Amino acid sequence: MAALALGNLLASPAAAFEMRRQDRLAALYSNQVVFDRQGEPLVSVRVTESQAAVDVTSAGRLTLMPGGDDGARVSAKAGARWTVTVEEGRPAEVRWWVIVDQIGARDLAGAARAREQWRRRGHPEVELIEAGAVIGLGGTTLDTRRRHVGIDPQADRDAAEARAAELAGELGVSTAVLGELVRRPGGWIVARDARSGFEIRAKDLLWITPEAPEKGPPPTVDLPDMEWGHGTPKRGRADRSYHGDVYLAVGRDGKLVAVNLLSAEALLEGVVPSEIFPSAPEAALQAQAVAARGQLLAKVGTRHRADPYLLCAETHCQVYKGQTRARPRTDAAVRATRGQLLFDARGLVDTTYSSACGGHSEAFHMMWGGPPKPSSPGRYDVADGSLDPLVPPGTPEPEAARIVAAFVERPGQSWCAASGGRSKVYRWTKTRTAAQVDAAVDAHAGRTVSPIHAIRPVRRGVSGRALAVEYVGGGGRYVVEGSYENRKLLGHLRSGMWVVERVGARPPGEAPAKWRFRGGGFGHGVGMCQHGAIGQARAGRGHDLILKHYYPGSRLETAW
């Protein structure tokens, strides 16, 4: 497949906008990131999908390029409204793999070993799927590629998700699902201007660029009454406007997708305001901008390998609503940290973050599996906080529960105590009735485990977060893997750092009337603590110090 010649693009960044149709099509499925004229990486974000028709307009002039730059260009009058549809839409052919392991992109021996190992364990089909991206940064290359080990392929996503859940239980490993494109989707993209009757037909792809006016910023490309969040529980219609280019292509299901191509920096300006309180102190906003930039690049090439774009605009990737009202404080934080990323000896740091760690953050590998990440070991969230675990690995219950209970009881000196305390996320209590817990566990198990008389974490992370929980009831025992899975099951507990008490005098071995959960923190607790970053910024610490606290051993570099 024709990958973009990145070297050429770097030599002449403007070439990113002077691609032929074939190059543009290849770029849609490529994990080579290209750059704009300012030297900022361009990312493609799907803004709507599965559409029969999408309307496109602009206050300014638009150039429609049905054949890429080497083909016909149509310069549309300002205010023209195009209705775009697909004819002869043909869905993609995708195989969905259950991902059971990851290997470095250059570890060929490891790849061969994995293939052999999974075959021997009774999985005849093993595929090594490359995910991640190669990003050329003035002389150096940022390579986030990994090989994902896929087994037991399925024809649709739901079947693969079901198989992934089964395998996670059987093998005791964390699994994921990844689609591999076998055949690209295609069709005729037809744009009609109702007023003039003018019609443009383009094979597979229609590119739309706003024309820069003599003075002032380029106008936005507007998608009136656009459906967002298709296929998610939260969806709706809204008028949306986008800076940068917009292209229309045929999605996996053979229907229309609209994608916004814009610089990573412009995308961050749209993303950061919904990630943190825009009123947070400047250094906390800057730390957030750097962490969000790292997450953005880490996701590029790993999320939508079978789609004609890199990222979606929903919570799956990052919520992005296009050009909305100006947010001067967060925009300033993004601009002040332009191109800044965190690196350690192994490359780009996976800058995960969550609302409040509760006083001790969790280790990345404990929460999500894989080898330990030195930059996310979990630590006490105080100045010069130790990297010692709160709960040493292997500590048995109820000793582990006693340690967590004592920590949750302690009044906070942590960076997140003040700001998190005001938001009621530093320490919290939730009560669930026995009936609520019984119903949730039975539904999850698909059998009767109730009445539950004991809830016992069987594995905890370094911060004491419950990573696997055993429910003991009249119908036997049932173990649920995963911190988030258990939080959800127990009625959306704020974090995995919790201890549970029986409420109502009943002898052990009998179900209590209620369960009371006492806990600390909000979110997964891995990486940066956002309330802690606010606490540190209020204490006068700069964004580089804040980041080095949450990602120990990392260094801040300006990549573009």
Nearer to Zn ion, 66 or 358 (CB): 358
Compute the Cα dihedral for 439, 442, 448, 449 and give only its sign.
Answer: negative
* One of 532, 534, 544, 548 touching Zn ion (CB under 5 A): 532
Nearer to Zn ion, 135 or 312 (CB): 312
- In the DSSP assignment, the letter for residue 112 is H
164 near Zn ion (CB under 5 A): no
Residue that is written with structure tokens 């076998």 in the block: 182
User: Is-contact 308 249, C-beta < 8 A?
Assistant: yes
Strands 42-51 and 311-312: parallel
Nearer to Zn ion, 258 or 511 (CB): 258
Stretch that binds Zn ion, among 47-55, 232-240, 322-330, 412-420 (CB under 5 A): 412-420
Give the max Cα distance, the chain. 80
Nearer to Zn ion, 383 or 443 (CB): 383
* One of 56, 342, 529, 546 touching Zn ion (CB under 5 A): 529
Residue 303 beta carbon to Zn ion: minimum distance, rounded to whole angstroms: 5
Number of chain positions touching Zn ion (CB under 5 A): 9
What are residue 484's phi and psi, to 5 degrees? -65, -40
Residue 307 beta carbon to Zn ion: minimum distance, rounded to whole angstroms: 8
Rounded CA gap, 335 and 269, in Å?
8
300 near Zn ion (CB under 5 A): no
Element (H, E) at 137: strand 134-137
Please list every residue from 370 through 399 that binds Zn ion, using CB under 5 A.
381
**Closest CA relative to residue 262, chosen from 248, 274, 245:** 245
Q: Write the binding mask 49 to 88 for Zn ion: x where contact by CB under 5 A, - elsewhere.
A: ----------------------------------------
Residue that is written with structure tokens 């814009």 in the block: 262
Rounded CA gap, 162 and 164, in Å?
5
Nearer to Zn ion, 432 or 549 (CB): 549
* One of 73, 115, 157, 303 touching Zn ion (CB under 5 A): 303
Interaxial angle between packed helices 543-550 and 282-299, expressed in degrees from 0 to 180 and rounded to the nearest 10? 50
Stretch that binds Zn ion, among 128-136, 185-193, 228-236, 299-307 (CB under 5 A): 299-307
Q: How far apart are the first and last CA of the chain?
A: 28
Give the pair of three-digit tokens for residue 458.
């069987």
Q: Write the binding mask 323 to 362 for Zn ion: x where contact by CB under 5 A, - elsewhere.
A: ----------------------------------x-----
What are residue 162's phi and psi, to 5 degrees? -65, -45
Please list every residue from 191 through 210 that binds Zn ion, using CB under 5 A.
none
422 near Zn ion (CB under 5 A): no
Residue 408 beta carbon to Zn ion: minimum distance, rounded to whole angstroms: 14
> From start to end of 332-417, where are the E strands?
340-344, 347-348, 353-354
Residue 304 beta carbon to Zn ion: minimum distance, rounded to whole angstroms: 6
Stretch that binds Zn ion, among 1-9, 70-78, 93-101, 317-325 (CB under 5 A): 317-325
Residue 68 beta carbon to Zn ion: minimum distance, rounded to whole angstroms: 26
Stretch that binds Zn ion, among 233-241, 260-268, 308-316, 494-502 (CB under 5 A): 308-316
Compute the Cα dihedral for 245, 247, 252, 255 and give only its sign.
Answer: positive
Residue that is written with structure tokens 């799927």 in the block: 129
312 near Zn ion (CB under 5 A): yes
Note the helical H segments in 136-220: 157-171
* One of 289, 416, 511, 533 touching Zn ion (CB under 5 A): 416
**Closest CA relative to residue 289, chosen from 306, 303, 275:** 275
Residue 260 beta carbon to Zn ion: minimum distance, rounded to whole angstroms: 14
316 near Zn ion (CB under 5 A): yes
Nearer to Zn ion, 176 or 529 (CB): 529
For the chain, give me the number of helices (H) and strands (E)? 14, 30
Nearer to Zn ion, 316 or 410 (CB): 316
Note the helical H segments in 337-386: 364-368
DSSP3 helix / strand / coil % (the chain, rounded to 5): 25, 35, 40
Residue 360 beta carbon to Zn ion: minimum distance, rounded to whole angstroms: 8
User: Is-contact 529 416, C-beta < 8 A?
Assistant: yes
Stretch that binds Zn ion, among 113-121, 414-422, 490-498, 538-546 (CB under 5 A): 414-422
Residue 329 beta carbon to Zn ion: minimum distance, rounded to whole angstroms: 22
What are the residues binding Zn ion (CB under 5 A)? 303, 312, 316-317, 357, 381, 416, 529, 532
